[in-house]
Structure 1
């Protein structure tokens, strides 16, 4: 299994490409769609789906461009179903001067904590609200890889001062689902460097 971390847009939001042979999953295409497409073409990958950890503007900016170019579906939790179409919910109205993001609806809405099988990839879906109501984390158990979005970062956790944020809920999500994963699980956050569960338990001040 191979992966690439591509920081995109003014907030340098991490987009990830997870590939197995030629099949590829795209996580959070935040912006700079042409740059992302160029990289995918260079690596001769075949994207089969887009997984969104949540629907804040900095994680969805290139969503329509990518899914239309490759004709692939996008997955999002049901609680943020309307966020893709509503600039006031996805934050673009407040944070992007003169620019409001309105994307097409997600192709598939996630609801239950279950296994999500896409081609040769099998993810465990964790509902991890707190940063936003519909935040989810995708766990590839076979490779001990966790795509946490803006829930857990290296030495930090997601902000909870945005609409729908809840600090107590965020910490419950982390303690219930993430810190009990295998210590060598690699954490792929929405911003900043990758880390591990072991390192976060040892050094993250929010987890003490």
Structure 2
């Protein structure tokens, strides 16, 4: 299996596409530019099976409806953010002058601690709140990758000044659920380049001395 990072929209939010040799794929956080993403998937000959959201801030959900309209796939989110997709006030689009986002509600809720499986794709769902109340990370053992959304970045962590943010909880989530992963795990963040668990343990100034 292989993953591809696709920065989308004015905030260059990372959408990830994880695909197998049968050209099936899982889409993470389609944040904007739905037509561009759909065209890319079609050009690659990929067939999406699901959309997995790390959380429901506007810059991670802006293309959700365009993607599921084209491919008829279910969208998953944590139940604590079940009302966020249709609400510009909750998803933040109301405050950032990005134009209001009224996406349809998610189709399914993830269950942290339980495996999430689509054919030969299996993920461990990690509950990692702090950036938002329903932030989750998806660990994929086969590619040694964790899709961390806006929880952990290369030498940084997610902002916690938005509604529902909690810096102390965020740092605890990272230590309890991400830094316990194998050190060679790739961290695929919502913004910026990929990193590894080992690099963040060694170099992330926000995590030292916790």
TM-score, normalised with respect to structure 2: 0.97
Q: Secondary structure at the match of 1:160?
A: coil
The reply to whether residue 42 of structure 1 matches residue 40 of structure 2 is no
The reply to whether residue 57 of structure 1 matches residue 87 of structure 2 is no
Q: Which residue of 1 aligns with 2:190?
A: 190
Contact 2:50 2:73 (8 Å CA) reproduced:
yes
**Can you list the C-alpha shifts for 1:29-63, whole angstroms capped at 9, x where unaligned?**
00001110111111111100000000000000000
Q: Which residue of 2 aligns with 1:180?
A: 180
Gaps of 5+ in 2: none
Q: Which residue of 2 aligns with 1:77?
A: 78
Q: Which residue of 1 aligns with 2:126?
A: 126
Q: Secondary structure at the match of 1:95?
A: coil
- State how many pairs are aligned: 207
TM-score, normalised with respect to structure 1: 0.98
Q: Secondary structure at the match of 2:176?
A: helix
Distance in 1, matches of 2:179 and 2:2, equals 24
Contact 2:3 2:19 (8 Å CA) reproduced:
yes
Distance in 1, matches of 2:25 and 2:57, equals 23
Alignment of structure 1 residues 139-154 onto 2, 5 Å? 139-154=139-154
The reply to whether residue 115 of structure 1 matches residue 108 of structure 2 is no
Distance in 1, matches of 2:189 and 2:142, equals 19
Distance in 1, matches of 2:86 and 2:109, equals 14
Distance in 2, matches of 1:91 and 1:199, equals 31
Contact 2:112 2:124 (8 Å CA) reproduced:
no
Q: Which residue of 2 aligns with 1:135?
A: 135
Report how far residue 199 of structure 1 moved: 0.6
Distance in 2, matches of 1:185 and 1:111, equals 22
Gaps of 5+ in 1: none
Q: Secondary structure at the match of 1:94?
A: coil
Distance in 2, matches of 1:102 and 1:58, equals 12
